[in-house]
Amino acid sequence: MHCYGGYGYGPGYGGTFALIVVLFILLIIVGAACFKY
């Protein structure tokens, strides 16, 4: 599709997807830290 372009960043969609990925990784890190201790 044309909205993907070269990096897969569309207007508004790319930023939202990146934000979700960052929050998901942060949640995994926090969960792993709580599980370890």
> Which tens digit of pLDDT belongs to each residue from 1-37?
444 444 555 555 566 777 788 889 999 998 888 877 6
Q: DSSP strand E in 1-37: where? A: none
Question: How many CB atoms are closer than 10 A to CB 6?
Answer: 5
pLDDT for the residue 15: 67
Q: Which residues contact 9 (CB under 8 A, 6 or more apart)?
A: 15
On whether the pTM is more than 0.75, the answer is no
pLDDT for the residue 4: 47
Residue indicated by tokens 């599980």 = 35
